[in-house]
Amino acid sequence: MEVRRARSRPVAEGAARRAVEDVLDILEVRGIDIPDAVRERVTGCGDPEILRHWHRRAVTAPTAAEIFEDE
């Protein structure tokens, strides 16, 4: 049981890392400026559900800070 949890932790961390990259990539591709405060908040998040929400918001948000609206 403990081995399974130990193995799943790196997988979850890898998924969160990719989600962080995806959020920032979307904003960059859209030409949206990413202030340091936004970049730090996104990179500091390890919650896949929150990152998923921000990912969806990044597709349409007019500014980087607006991905955090509705929180």
Q: Alpha-carbon Rg of the chain, whole angstroms?
A: 14
Start-end of H helices in 1-71 = 2-29, 36-43, 48-58
Task: Tell which wins on pLDDT, 68 or 8.
Answer: 68
pLDDT at 9: 62
| 1 pLDDT above the threshold of 70 | no
Q: What is the pLDDT of residues 20-67, one digit of tens each?
A: 999 999 999 999 999 999 999 999 999 999 999 999 999 999 999 999
| 11 pLDDT above the threshold of 80 | no
pLDDT at 65: 98
